[in-house]
Structures are given as C-alpha cells and as structure tokens.
Structure 1
Amino acid sequence: MKTRELKQKAKTLIVLVVLITFLTTFSGINLVGNTYKTGNEPNQLISLTSKWRELNILCVVITYPENLEKRTKFVNETWTRQCNKTIFVSDEHNGEFPTIKVTDQKGKSELWAKSRNAIELLYYKYLNKFDWFFKAEDDTYVVMDNLRKFLYFKDSSKLEWYGKAMINGSDNSIYPHGGAGYAFGSKALKQLVEVGFKNGPNCPKDSVSSPNYDVYLGSCLTNSGIELIKDCFDSHGRELFHPLSFQDEFALAWDKSNYFYKNSLNKVATEKCCSSESVSFHKVIGREQLFMDYFIREFKPPDKKSQR
C-alpha cells in the first residue's frame, strides 16, 4: 500500500477516535439527531431551539474553480444546507454549481479582492434581507445549530464581529482568522462598507495582492469602529471558532511551537479545545466534510445513564 494511502487511513482513524471520545465524554449541550439535549425542562428546550432556528442567516463561502469538485461540493452537501441562503463566490462564474464571480483576479494571493468584493455583494444585494451573515472558506465546517444558538444571544444591530482572534506578529494588531469563519450582523456589514471600505489606505482596495486578507480585514474593522469580539468562549472558557481541523486542534495543547498556538490571542482557551458548543473548524477538506457531518449530526453515542 502506498505511503500516502497509509497516512490517509491513519488520519481517518485518529479523527474517528477523537470524535467518538469527544461526543461520548463532554457534558452539556450535545448535538444528537439535530436536537440540543440539555438538563432544561422539555418545553423550555423546544421553545429555545425554535427561537434559535428562526434566525435568518446568509452564509457566503469563498472558493476557487479548481476546488468545486474536490472541496466545495462537499460543503454544499453538508452544513450549508442549514443556512437560510448560501452563496459561493469565486473568480469564475459557474451557473451549474453555481458560483458567483466577484473578481477577475485569481489565486490565493488575491484573497483580499475576493473577500472584499464578496462583502460588498452582501451589502448591495442582501443587507436588508438577513439579520446575520457568516463567511467561510471551502474547507470550513460549521455546526449551524451551534452558530444559531451563539448568535441568538447576540444583537445584530451592534457593531461587533465574531470569530477566532489572532495576533499579527508584525504590529500586534488583532484580526479574525478567515478559515475559522466569522459572523457579523447587518449593522456591522453596513458600517464596514460605508465607512471602512471608503477609508483609504487603512482599508486596502481590492487591487491589493496578498494572501493575508484577514489581516487587512482586521485593519478595516478597527478603522470602521467595529469591535472584533475577542472572547468567543463557552461557559468553561473553551473557544468556539477553530483555525484548524478537529484533530489538529487537540494537538495544539502539546505543540507550543505551532504557528496557531503562538499567534492565537487566547492561549489558555486554545489549550482547552474543544467546546461541545463549537461553531466551526478549518481545514476540513473534501470528504472529511461528510465525515464531520455524520458524527456531529447523525452519530448517537450511548446514553451514559443506560451504561450505569
């Protein structure tokens, strides 16, 4: 068997073990069959869950033409189906998928142009149609029920941006990690486009080439008067937005030299991965989306009470 195939099988096994351990160990809110189970009274639980699901959320996914078959189609088949609307933006129009062309510039070095233009698309076409927006990449996996529950307790009319806070090593500024995804309300979207995107050098034009688009976004947010919320934690201090895959997030506790560990604003929270109310994971590629979707939404661990 080829070395590559062995590595892939080993990776799959690790993910399987970690996921099963996670799902059968953590207490609190757990997704089982698309329903939150808590210690609350049944009627109260049904009422809250109904309210969470009433939130009107538009999801936008950044992708590339070459990724449609090997990545994006799996995103389209899994978590995005729980968004009220999903749009896929790229550098080419594809009516069959479909994707919306937002820039002529191609490649990862042009991510800022694609991201900025995607945000402007949301502003001009959807600003008054949705309360919340969530931006992801084609290797982001989102637990939509957890996102809805998280946003239910937030105010979309506030100038706030929610995601994984990172530190820019060159100037110690704070920015949201793009791969982990981020959520923002209609008020923040309006402010970013009308104030930030018109603020000259502090918020680069779409012609600027750089793969560090999330750093640019951090600068835009700061100069727009929008607050990047730095403590997106659960009640146990565990983070909700993750810049790495499920299994790699666990490894951060032992790898202090890792880029994401060193540049994460919240070092302590990083070591406490992962919350049972986690919203997103990054670097979930291709069929791994199906794998995550099954174990988070369909897999039913044994009831602890029945094992006693």
Structure 2
Amino acid sequence: MREASRAAEPAEAARAFEAAGARAAAEPDRAAESGRAPESGRAAGGPRAARPQAAPRFPGGPSPDPAGSHHERRIRSFQPRRSRVTTSQGDALRRLWPVWGLDIDGLRTLDLGELFGDGQKRSDKPVVLEIGFGMGEATARMAAADPDTGILAVDVHTPGQGNLLGLAERNGLTNVRVANGDAIILLREMLPPASLDGLRVYFPDPWPKPRHHKRRLIQPDFLTLAAPSLKPGAILHCATDWEPYAEQMLEVLTAHPDFENTQPDGGYAPRPDFRPHTRFEGQGLRKGHVVHDLLFRRVARPGATDARPGATAPEA
C-alpha cells in the first residue's frame, strides 16, 4: 500500500487545536460584543452544540476508529484515505466483514488458530502478516498460490478492504483475514509471541521529504517491536521502488540484532516468485525506478525475551 504522505504532524495539529481553544476561552464572544445574533441553537458566549453522530457507513463492518481514544497519539506512517466505495465493495464489507474481518482494537490477544479456523475446527496453518495491501490483488494472488498459509492482511483503506474480501469470496480463498486499523497496536498488544511465520511490507509510503523520514515504517523501533511476534526463522520481506528508502531499510535491518540477511553478499534479494507484481511497483517501473526486495530472517538471541518495548514506533 502506498500510504498518503500529505498528513499534518499529529503533534502540530494538537498544539494548534489547544491554542485555538485557549484563544476562544480568553477572548469575549465577538458576536455578543458586536450585537450580532448568535448562531442558531447557541446562546451568546455559550458552548457550541455537539453535532449528532453520523450513522456508520457499514453497520457490522470495519470501525472508523477501532482502537478509539484509549491509545495514545503517535507519529503515524499512514493517513487513512477517503475514497469512493463501489457497490460491490460495500456489499462485500456488509456481508463478509463479520466472517473474515477484524478490527484492531488493542483489547484482546488473538488466537490465530481460532481466527483462521472454520468456526468448528482450529487451523494449524502457518500465518504471515502483510502490512498495507492496497486494493488486495497481490494479496489474493499470493493466497491462491499458497492455500496452506494464512494471510493476515492489515490496511486502513476501506475500498481496498472491501475489494480484498470480494476477491477472497469469488476465488474461494478461505486463508485470508482482513484487519482494519493500526498494525503497531496489533503487533504490540494483540499478537502472541512467536505466532507469525512471516511479515510482508510491500511498497510502504517512502515519505521522501527529509522532515517526514521519521514517519517511515521500517525503522529500528519498529523492528524491535515486530521481532517478538515472529518465530525464529520467520522471514521479513520488504520491497520498495524508492532508492533512498531501500538503502535505509538495508541499513537498519543489517544493524538490527534480531534479523540476518538471507543474501550471502549482504545486499538486496531477487524478487521471489511468490511475490506478484503490484500496482505501485508498476507505477515505479514506468517512472524508471528500480525495485528492491529485502529478505531478512528472524534470529533467536540467547537470553533475549519476548517482552515488547514501549510504544515508540510510528503507527502503521
């Protein structure tokens, strides 16, 4: 998924909101001073009436804010995109979300055997986590090619969620589960230790401006957070068409003690056959970009624990 890169800093937005509130509290009501009538439904100097809550677009479908206010604000590596949901995508969300969908609320620990089971029998499939799947076409192709592996696919893009659910139904893919929300919360609070057989991050937002580099997902803090959920030997597979981001990925992965490069020369890997070409990959290739794959293996360190660190990684 290419995550939108035009979001304002959360801290800046919070400071601006607080400053606006302070100004409003310190200044007298200007409508009262000028003699103008107050806005309908609000007395001069009184609080603005709360707007009624809008009805959910897809009752029983993905929540607009699954983790809610019980999780702190952090620097985000993504920004939810507002896009039109087609009729077929909306239908898939309404019908299939209760069956194959998952809101990342941070309130429980997942049982992946139960999640990928059929309601009567637990699954013993290996499970890989994919962070950012866009419209889901590549995810569906990987699921079809390897039906004995479960794919837990995370994204915040509602049309993509509906599209992937529809693809799974039309192609009989019972090994896909679609998760909605922040992958950091999923990794930090909802996945048991050593529960994943792989982690895939394909074409994340490169955040090209230097002041936005802190928003990039693949950073040391993220790797430290993700490592406990990965079984020893699990593969972390990243791909990007943005050269500076590829260099950063290679640098931080090489330096991290929980991962080792699968390539003897310590460099980039050839694209493995199981990774299909994606839309964003095609866009990059048409621009003359070079696509880099990175394949790193989770290593077990003597004396290391599965305790997760504090929440210093960006949201994803």
Q: Same fold (TM over 0.5)?
A: no
Q: TM-score, normalised by structure 2?
A: 0.28
* More RCO (CA 8 Å, sep 6+): 1
The structure number with the bigger radius of gyration is 2
Q: TM-score, normalised by structure 1?
A: 0.29
Which protein is richer in helix relative to its size? 1
